[in-house]
Structure 1
Amino acid sequence: MQRNLIVTKDGSHSVAIPEWEVSYHSVYGAVQESLHVFIESGLKYWLDKHTSASRCVIFEMGFGTGLNALLSILESKRRQRKIMYETIEAFPLEQSITRELNYCTALEQGFWQPVFDSLHSGEWNSTQHITNFFSFKKIRSLLADYTPGEPVNIIYYDAFAPSAQPELWTKEVFERMLNILAPDGILVTYSSKGDVRRALLAAGFSVEKIAGPAGKREMIRASRK
């Protein structure tokens, strides 16, 4: 499978797969999309509603470029809130791509470049203690083979678009996601397709359509009914 580094409209990198006609992020801006969908609508939303929680457990479906993990580290540090972050990836990016990703430069956070590099170079299936507030574990696994160690407060559902991987957007998959979610948990995803919404509802989620990032009218935030 060919994967190519591309520059999105906000100047930050993403990765395109020509064969599938998809990219890892919105072409309107990788950083702006991840900030809006996963940080603003997911992490910040949950933290603001749970100010006394001792920690937040995040599961990311699809580690990809590592951008969502980096942004979560920065938010954890800013708020001094503890986060346990676990992510799976079946097909990791090549080093020739990951070492070129410009997220720390785009965010004007050059200090964090060695940390970002370590997310990609660190051992699989082993917990890294990134800061006093952030622990990180990446697992080489398909979603069907994954079971978390404990209930999850936030699911970053960042699979490729339903047109490319329809098998990851089914009622059965979302039933599994509901089963790993803590009672106060939420799932956020960039997709707002009708089929996705209906699959989430059929799986037992309560679904909220909210404003999407640049170039996209809506996204989904879902929780237990």
Structure 2
Amino acid sequence: MDKKLKLIETEDGSHSIYVPDLNETYHSFHGAYRESVHVFLLYGLEHWAVHNPEKEPIRIFEVGFGTGLNAWLTLVWAEQNKRPVLYHSIEPFPIPEEIYQKLNYTRVDKTIQHFEDYFQELHKAPWDHGDAITPYFNMKKEQTTLQDVQLYHSDVVFFDAFAPSKQPELWAKDLLKKVVDHMNPGGVFVTYCAKGQLKRDLAELGLKVETLPGPPGKKEMVRGRKV
């Protein structure tokens, strides 16, 4: 295992990764799995899909592939709902195989354990290349930064970067503008972060901003809709 990264267990029994150099974790200590389901699936993808029942494919852009949890949950959702998804994710620092092979997300919810093999497939898929992982889930993951990536237009944005206190450059207004400019009309932007400056910046960039209940252990999160 990479000595710079440490596998940890969060309060819901699911794993996350601790980064000593940043003194930061990839997910909430209160539950990695619950956080991803709450913020990105329920308030992001499902919210958008309910209001756009006919639009296909659903185009998702993710800042921070990380452990692959959001991507895997989205794949499961796409297969269960038979809604085609084009998933574009960026990650400048992919986690090594000896770590992602130990992640336990596929064992948290027994009802979707039959999708277990796809979790490894998402990680093993080549970088900087688009592939159909399942009939309803096509993914392109790029080993690059938000500053350098060439964006496509998206319906849903999973903004899952490290916290503004750890990576303030990723939350700068000019980069947020880059993301918002590539959102389709009616598109939604979701993040676990609820900082006042973020909400002001998103509003100034033209999003209708909502402060919503956060996942367990966190009071609030943010969703923005492009009007």
Pairwise TM-score range, normalised by the shorter structure:
over 0.9
**Corresponding residue for residue 120 of structure 1:** 123
Please provide the CA RMSD for this pair.
Answer: 1.2
Q: 1:30-64 CA deviation, whole Å, 9 max, x = no partner?
A: 00000000000000000000011122000000000
Cα shift at 1:152 = 0.3
**Corresponding residue for residue 28 of structure 1:** 30
Letter in 1 for 2:8: I
Kept after mapping to 1: 8 A contact 2:121/2:133:
no
User: Is 2:167 the counterpart of 1:165?
Assistant: yes
Q: Give SS of 1:153's match.
A: strand
Matches within 5 A, 1:174-189: 174-189=176-191
Kept after mapping to 2: 8 A contact 1:206/1:222:
yes
Q: Give SS of 1:20's match.
A: coil
Distance 1:22 1:204 in 2: 31
**Higher mean displacement: 15-24 or 104-113:** 104-113
TM-score by structure 2 length?
0.95
Distance 2:94 2:21 in 1: 17
Cα shift at 1:15 = 0.4
Kept after mapping to 1: 8 A contact 2:59/2:86:
yes
User: Is 2:138 the counterpart of 1:135?
Assistant: yes
Among residues 148, 155, 158, which one is paired with 1:156 in the alignment?
158
Distance 1:184 1:202 in 2: 16
Q: Give SS of 2:204's match.
A: helix
Letter in 2 for 1:133: Y
Q: Give SS of 2:134's match.
A: coil
Cα shift at 1:198 = 1.8
Q: Give SS of 2:129's match.
A: coil
Letter in 2 for 1:115: Y
**Corresponding residue for residue 148 of structure 2:** 145
Cα shift at 1:223 = 1.7
Cα shift at 1:11 = 0.4
Cα shift at 1:126 = 1.5
Matches within 5 A, 1:91-106: 91-106=93-108
| Corresponding residue pairs, total | 224
Cα shift at 1:137 = 1.1
**Higher mean displacement: 169-178 or 196-205:** 196-205
Cα shift at 1:77 = 1.2
Letter in 2 for 1:174: L
Letter in 2 for 1:121: K
Cα shift at 1:107 = 2.0
Distance 2:113 2:51 in 1: 31
Matches within 5 A, 1:203-218: 203-218=205-220
Letter in 1 for 2:118: V
Letter in 1 for 2:123: H
Identity, % of aligned positions: 38
Return 5+ residue gaps in structure 2 as ranges.
Answer: none
Cα shift at 1:154 = 0.3
Distance 1:145 1:20 in 2: 22
Kept after mapping to 2: 8 A contact 1:172/1:203:
no
Distance 1:217 1:165 in 2: 21
Cα shift at 1:19 = 2.4
**Corresponding residue for residue 15 of structure 1:** 17
